[in-house]
Structure 1
């Protein structure tokens, strides 16, 4: 708002602060883009995943009213919500590139990813340890903290480091979260499960390059998510062969998580060798 100086009768020009006030009066819905709405859907799914893990798995276990079927349904629902969050995360980037994103779009994306792919899987790991064996509660809490901090560091680095177009540095947090949950659902012995979870956390903060999901890769990822939801549904409703299908899907997710870094490392080694060979050839008279 413009105010007249009573002594000089001078009316100052509107500055950035005035523009900010006018923008502040704008309704929130007018400042959120379609991409931002998808990002908020991501955060909502992450919160609901924590909710179903608590009400359907943890509380029945603590009160002694555990029902295997209900816990299975709730666990499957929590994981499907994380999968749905990854769909929102995939599409908000695509929509932002095609249309536009608000000035706070990047911050919303990081905060939503922290909820859905940091807090939700870390909490899932904690509850798994408590339900599997109360003696493992402390260790599983530590594993959950490792996952959460890995995602925090991963997202912080993504915000401040400029990378070549088309690649991520470190395992993307949605892929890491789904790999962590797959490890838990495989129901391996406690120690191998713990080591695998820590390994995924390390990959998220590593310098291994992962391709960004664009074009055919984005379509393939979406198809894999839909297939995973189908496997979880079959498992949740105790369909014939549902347990085997889920175990197979989780194993494939784990294999993908291990194979991609190997291919990326091999590609970097080959690139280094080629560059070294070219440098030697150029140095020869």
Structure 2
């Protein structure tokens, strides 16, 4: 029974800790989830800078080369920052508590940062570049987006041995697509290279997961790439050369890994076949 002196808007004091304890585990965010949300924010902001700094000025006739360069660099830097968040959220989740939403949040954030953002970057390139074809570039962007969607869906459904990805990881694929665009090759080679990266993302080529020294090497490469983009955006001496060198190295890395993976698979097949023949010879003898 409520006391008559009690105010109509009175609400009983509730301990915040009790409320937190009553929350279902599936709705609590962990530290790793916070990093994952940072990934999603970076992807969205990459689309924002691509739109406001590159696409809209081009459509309105106020295309300033310096502004477009700054905005494009900022968009790519944000994608690189998203890849750092993606790298660390898994490490943090393994070290600390991971929420029940972690895997879903990771896939949704990756779709924004490494699916939508690079695909939108390709569309913008198709509208801004002088020798490109807008409709064809839209098709290439859709191919990239669908490749990331399929890549993430397969990752959720297929169980592989520990330490291995099947298909090019979406962060690496997204950054390779952006590097191809920034390299400013002729339209047809650029288009073919983008489609090739999309194919690698849905292929069965095995890629190592970034752990230990490989994770440190990847983080170092990402930070170095940010520096090269900043030098290009600020029009520093040699900035254009640094950008082209970084983009070329990114593409070379993207091409070398499947070559080495295929060579390793062929060598493994040959070794197994040789062992099988040796076993047959021993049985005959």
Task: Using structure 2 for the length normalisation, give the TM-score.
Answer: 0.90
Per the TM alignment, residue 236 of structure 1 is displaced from its structure 2 partner at its CA by 0.1
CA positional deviation for 1:29:
11
Q: 1:165 to 1:27 in 2, by over 3 A?
A: closer
**Equivalence for 1:123:** 120
C-alpha separation in 2, matches of 1:101 and 1:82: 24
Structure 1 gap ranges (5+): 1-21
1:133 CA displacement: 3.6
Partner of 1:176: 173
Q: CA deviation at 1:26?
A: 2.3
The question of whether the paired residues in 1 share the 8 Å contact of 2:205 and 2:258 is answered with yes
Cα 1:27–1:164 change in 2 (3 A) is: closer
Map 1:133-282; keep pairs closer than 5 Å.
133=130, 136-282=133-279
Q: Which residue of 2 aligns with 1:11?
A: none
Task: Give runs of aligned pairs for residues 76-155 of structure 1, distance below 5 A.
Answer: 76-133=73-130, 136-155=133-152
TM-superposed CA distance for 1:219, in Å, is 0.2
Conserved 8 A contact 2:127-2:134: yes
Q: How far off its partner does 1:66 sit?
A: 0.6
User: CA contact under 8 A between 2:27 and 2:101: conserved in structure 1?
Assistant: no
**Cα 1:199–1:67 shift into 2, 3 Å:** same
Distance verdict in 2 for CA 1:134–1:242, change over 3 Å: closer
Structure 2 Cα separation of the partners of residues 134 and 258 of structure 1: 25
* Aligned-pair CA distance for 1:248: 0.2
1:25, distance to aligned residue in structure 2 (A): 5.7
The alignment partner of 2:133 has SS state of: helix
Q: 1:281 to 1:169 in 2, by over 3 A?
A: same
CA RMSD of aligned residues (A): 1.7
Of 30-39 and 42-51, more deviation after overlay is shown by 30-39
Q: Deviations over 1:231-256 (max 9, x none)?
A: 00000000000000000000000000
Q: Is the 8 A contact 2:53 2:72 kept in 1?
A: yes
| CA 1:280–1:134: 2 relative to 1, 3 Å | closer
Structure 2: unaligned runs, 5 residues or longer: 1-18
Closer, same or farther: CA 134–264 of 1 in aligned 2, 3 Å: closer
3-state DSSP of counterpart to 2:210: coil
Cα separation, partners in 2 of 1:114 and 1:270, compared to 1, 3 Å: same
* Mapped partners of 2:25, 2:47: distance in 1: 27
Please say if 1:40 is aligned against 2:40: no
**Structure 1 residue 135: Cα displacement:** 6.2
Aligned length: 264
Kindly report structure 1 stretches of 4+ aligned residues shifted beyond 2 Å.
Answer: 22-30
